[in-house]
Amino acid sequence: SQELEQSPQSLIVQEGKNLTINCTSSKTLYGLYWYKQKYGEGLIFLMMLQKGGEEKSHEKITAKLDEKKQQSSLHITASQPSHAGIYLCGADDGDSSYKLIFGSGTRLLVRP
Amino acid sequence: DAGITQSPRHKVTETGTPVTLRCHQTENHRYMYWYRQDPGHGLRLIHYSYGVKDTDKGEVSDGYSVSRSKTEDFLLTLESATSSQTSVYFCAISEGGPGELFFGEGSRLTVL
Protein backbone atom coordinates (compact mmCIF):
# COMPACT_ATOMS: atom_id res chain seq x y z
CA SER A 1 0.00 0.00 0.00
CA GLN A 2 1.02 3.58 -0.43
CA GLU A 3 2.91 5.47 2.26
CA LEU A 4 3.40 9.18 2.70
CA GLU A 5 6.38 10.63 4.52
CA GLN A 6 6.39 14.23 5.68
CA SER A 7 9.34 16.36 6.66
CA PRO A 8 10.14 18.00 8.88
CA GLN A 9 8.09 16.50 11.70
CA SER A 10 8.06 19.83 13.49
CA LEU A 11 9.07 23.35 12.71
CA ILE A 12 9.45 26.53 14.74
CA VAL A 13 9.89 29.75 12.79
CA GLN A 14 9.93 33.44 13.56
CA GLU A 15 6.99 35.44 12.30
CA GLY A 16 7.68 36.79 8.84
CA LYS A 17 9.97 33.95 7.80
CA ASN A 18 9.29 31.62 4.88
CA LEU A 19 9.08 27.87 5.32
CA THR A 20 8.62 24.68 3.31
CA ILE A 21 7.04 21.35 4.23
CA ASN A 22 7.61 18.28 2.09
CA CYS A 23 5.52 15.20 1.40
CA THR A 24 7.05 12.19 -0.35
CA SER A 25 5.07 9.23 -1.60
CA SER A 26 6.20 5.63 -2.04
CA LYS A 27 4.10 5.41 -5.21
CA THR A 28 2.98 7.68 -8.01
CA LEU A 29 0.46 10.18 -6.75
CA TYR A 30 -2.91 10.30 -8.48
CA GLY A 31 -4.16 13.04 -6.23
CA LEU A 32 -2.37 14.92 -3.45
CA TYR A 33 -4.26 16.90 -0.84
CA TRP A 34 -3.05 19.32 1.78
CA TYR A 35 -4.92 19.83 5.03
CA LYS A 36 -4.38 22.02 8.05
CA GLN A 37 -5.38 21.18 11.59
CA LYS A 38 -5.53 23.77 14.31
CA TYR A 39 -4.57 22.33 17.65
CA GLY A 40 -7.51 20.48 19.19
CA GLU A 41 -9.72 20.79 16.14
CA GLY A 42 -10.62 18.89 13.01
CA LEU A 43 -8.84 19.14 9.67
CA ILE A 44 -9.55 21.77 7.05
CA PHE A 45 -8.94 21.16 3.36
CA LEU A 46 -6.41 23.53 1.79
CA MET A 47 -5.59 22.41 -1.74
CA MET A 48 -5.65 19.54 -4.19
CA LEU A 49 -2.98 18.77 -6.79
CA GLN A 50 -3.38 16.21 -9.53
CA LYS A 51 -1.15 17.01 -12.46
CA GLY A 52 2.62 16.71 -12.59
CA GLY A 53 4.17 20.16 -12.23
CA GLU A 54 0.92 21.65 -10.94
CA GLU A 55 1.12 24.58 -8.54
CA LYS A 56 -1.67 26.19 -6.56
CA SER A 57 -1.80 29.10 -4.17
CA HIS A 58 -4.17 30.21 -1.47
CA GLU A 59 -3.33 33.48 0.23
CA LYS A 60 0.30 33.03 1.34
CA ILE A 61 0.38 29.26 0.96
CA THR A 62 1.65 27.64 -2.24
CA ALA A 63 1.67 23.93 -2.96
CA LYS A 64 3.46 22.15 -5.80
CA LEU A 65 3.44 18.64 -7.18
CA ASP A 66 6.64 17.55 -8.90
CA GLU A 67 6.73 16.34 -12.48
CA LYS A 68 7.19 12.72 -11.45
CA LYS A 69 4.19 13.00 -9.15
CA GLN A 70 5.89 11.48 -6.15
CA GLN A 71 6.63 14.55 -4.09
CA SER A 72 4.77 17.66 -3.06
CA SER A 73 5.88 20.73 -1.19
CA LEU A 74 3.91 23.31 0.76
CA HIS A 75 5.48 26.73 1.02
CA ILE A 76 4.35 29.51 3.34
CA THR A 77 5.56 33.01 2.62
CA ALA A 78 5.94 35.58 5.41
CA SER A 79 4.56 33.28 8.09
CA GLN A 80 2.10 34.57 10.69
CA PRO A 81 0.97 33.14 14.04
CA SER A 82 -2.31 32.21 12.34
CA HIS A 83 -0.39 29.71 10.21
CA ALA A 84 0.43 27.64 13.29
CA GLY A 85 -1.00 24.14 13.40
CA ILE A 86 -0.44 20.70 11.97
CA TYR A 87 -0.15 20.32 8.21
CA LEU A 88 -0.97 16.94 6.73
CA CYS A 89 -0.69 15.67 3.21
CA GLY A 90 -3.14 13.08 1.98
CA ALA A 91 -3.27 10.93 -1.13
CA ASP A 92 -5.54 8.51 -2.89
CA ASP A 93 -4.62 4.99 -1.91
CA GLY A 94 -3.55 3.43 -5.20
CA ASP A 95 -5.33 0.19 -4.31
CA SER A 96 -8.73 1.77 -3.84
CA SER A 97 -10.52 4.78 -5.18
CA TYR A 98 -12.38 5.31 -1.94
CA LYS A 99 -9.59 5.71 0.55
CA LEU A 100 -7.52 8.72 1.47
CA ILE A 101 -4.36 8.05 3.43
CA PHE A 102 -2.35 10.67 5.31
CA GLY A 103 1.21 11.44 6.22
CA SER A 104 2.18 11.77 9.87
CA GLY A 105 1.94 15.55 9.79
CA THR A 106 4.20 18.54 10.36
CA ARG A 107 3.69 20.64 13.48
CA LEU A 108 4.30 24.31 12.81
CA LEU A 109 4.78 26.94 15.49
CA VAL A 110 5.20 30.57 14.51
CA ARG A 111 6.76 32.80 17.12
CA PRO A 112 5.56 36.43 17.20
CA ASP B 1 -19.31 24.66 7.50
CA ALA B 2 -20.22 21.09 6.58
CA GLY B 3 -22.93 19.68 8.81
CA ILE B 4 -21.06 16.93 10.57
CA THR B 5 -21.40 16.13 14.23
CA GLN B 6 -19.55 13.62 16.36
CA SER B 7 -20.76 12.29 19.68
CA PRO B 8 -19.67 11.98 22.34
CA ARG B 9 -16.87 14.54 22.10
CA HIS B 10 -15.15 13.16 25.16
CA LYS B 11 -15.39 9.76 26.81
CA VAL B 12 -13.51 7.94 29.52
CA THR B 13 -14.14 4.24 29.83
CA GLU B 14 -12.60 1.13 31.29
CA THR B 15 -10.83 -1.71 29.53
CA GLY B 16 -13.22 -4.38 28.32
CA THR B 17 -16.30 -2.17 28.00
CA PRO B 18 -18.07 -1.58 24.69
CA VAL B 19 -17.98 1.90 23.20
CA THR B 20 -19.89 3.39 20.29
CA LEU B 21 -19.01 6.66 18.62
CA ARG B 22 -21.53 8.31 16.36
CA CYS B 23 -21.00 10.46 13.30
CA HIS B 24 -24.00 12.32 11.98
CA GLN B 25 -24.09 14.36 8.76
CA THR B 26 -26.72 16.61 7.26
CA GLU B 27 -25.02 16.95 3.85
CA ASN B 28 -26.32 13.72 2.28
CA HIS B 29 -22.77 12.83 1.26
CA ARG B 30 -22.18 9.29 0.07
CA TYR B 31 -18.78 8.65 1.61
CA MET B 32 -18.04 8.55 5.33
CA TYR B 33 -14.79 7.73 7.09
CA TRP B 34 -13.49 7.02 10.56
CA TYR B 35 -9.88 7.93 11.35
CA ARG B 36 -7.87 7.83 14.52
CA GLN B 37 -5.11 10.32 15.28
CA ASP B 38 -2.17 9.45 17.50
CA PRO B 39 1.12 11.27 18.10
CA GLY B 40 3.72 10.24 15.54
CA HIS B 41 1.19 8.41 13.37
CA GLY B 42 -0.86 11.18 11.86
CA LEU B 43 -4.29 10.09 10.74
CA ARG B 44 -4.93 6.40 10.14
CA LEU B 45 -8.03 5.10 8.43
CA ILE B 46 -10.10 2.65 10.49
CA HIS B 47 -13.14 1.98 8.32
CA TYR B 48 -15.00 3.76 5.60
CA SER B 49 -18.37 3.61 3.92
CA TYR B 50 -19.30 4.23 0.30
CA GLY B 51 -23.03 3.92 0.78
CA VAL B 52 -25.74 2.62 3.06
CA LYS B 53 -24.69 -0.81 4.31
CA ASP B 54 -21.53 -0.61 2.18
CA THR B 55 -18.43 -0.50 4.35
CA ASP B 56 -14.84 -1.62 4.10
CA LYS B 57 -11.73 -1.86 6.24
CA GLY B 58 -8.97 0.68 6.43
CA GLU B 59 -5.39 0.46 7.69
CA VAL B 60 -6.14 -0.20 11.38
CA SER B 61 -9.51 -1.97 11.52
CA ASP B 62 -8.71 -4.68 14.09
CA GLY B 63 -10.86 -4.26 17.20
CA TYR B 64 -13.33 -1.96 15.46
CA SER B 65 -16.60 -2.49 13.66
CA VAL B 66 -18.85 -0.03 11.86
CA SER B 67 -22.41 0.22 10.70
CA ARG B 68 -24.24 2.48 8.35
CA SER B 69 -27.97 1.80 8.26
CA LYS B 70 -28.85 5.22 6.85
CA THR B 71 -27.03 7.86 4.85
CA GLU B 72 -26.64 10.33 7.68
CA ASP B 73 -25.20 8.10 10.40
CA PHE B 74 -21.94 6.15 10.59
CA LEU B 75 -21.28 4.34 13.86
CA LEU B 76 -17.91 3.14 15.09
CA THR B 77 -17.98 0.42 17.75
CA LEU B 78 -15.25 -0.88 19.95
CA GLU B 79 -16.63 -4.20 21.14
CA SER B 80 -14.20 -4.46 24.04
CA ALA B 81 -12.11 -1.36 24.50
CA THR B 82 -8.38 -1.67 25.16
CA SER B 83 -5.87 0.93 26.32
CA SER B 84 -4.29 0.93 22.85
CA GLN B 85 -7.54 2.37 21.53
CA THR B 86 -7.07 5.53 23.55
CA SER B 87 -6.99 8.12 20.81
CA VAL B 88 -8.75 10.99 19.13
CA TYR B 89 -11.26 9.74 16.58
CA PHE B 90 -12.28 11.81 13.59
CA CYS B 91 -15.18 11.28 11.28
CA ALA B 92 -15.04 12.67 7.76
CA ILE B 93 -17.46 12.90 4.87
CA SER B 94 -17.12 13.52 1.16
CA GLU B 95 -19.41 13.75 -1.79
CA GLY B 96 -17.25 12.23 -4.50
CA GLY B 97 -14.80 9.91 -2.83
CA PRO B 98 -11.34 10.71 -1.47
CA GLY B 99 -10.03 14.21 -1.84
CA GLU B 100 -11.83 17.08 -0.25
CA LEU B 101 -13.01 15.63 3.03
CA PHE B 102 -14.96 17.52 5.63
CA PHE B 103 -13.99 16.56 9.13
CA GLY B 104 -15.84 16.54 12.39
CA GLU B 105 -14.39 18.09 15.52
CA GLY B 106 -13.15 14.79 16.88
CA SER B 107 -13.99 12.49 19.78
CA ARG B 108 -11.39 12.02 22.46
CA LEU B 109 -11.55 8.53 23.93
CA THR B 110 -9.58 7.45 26.97
CA VAL B 111 -9.53 3.77 27.92
CA LEU B 112 -8.27 3.17 31.45
pLDDT average, residue stretch A27-36: 89
Q: Domain spans of chain A?
A: 4-111
pLDDT tens for residues B36-58?
Answer: 999 878 889 999 999 999 999 98
Count of CB atoms situated within 10 Å of the CB of B75: 16
Q: Which CATH architecture has domain A4-111?
A: Sandwich (2.60)
Q: In which band, very low, low, confident or very high, does the pLDDT at A58 lie, cut at 50, 70 and 90?
A: confident
Q: Do B56 and A98 touch (CB under 8 A)?
A: yes
Domains of chain B with CATH codes: 4-111 (2.60.40.10)
Instruction: Give A51→chain B minimum CA distance, Å.
Output: 14
Whole-angstrom distance, CA of residue B32 vs CA of residue A79: 34
- Is the pLDDT at A34 greater than 90? The verdict is yes
Check CB contact of A39 with chain B, cutoff 8 Å: no
C-alpha–C-alpha distance, residues A90 and B56, integer Å: 19
Whole-number pLDDT of residue A101: 86
Average pLDDT, chain A: 90
% of chain B at pLDDT higher than 90: 85
**Percent residues over pLDDT 90 in chain A:** 66
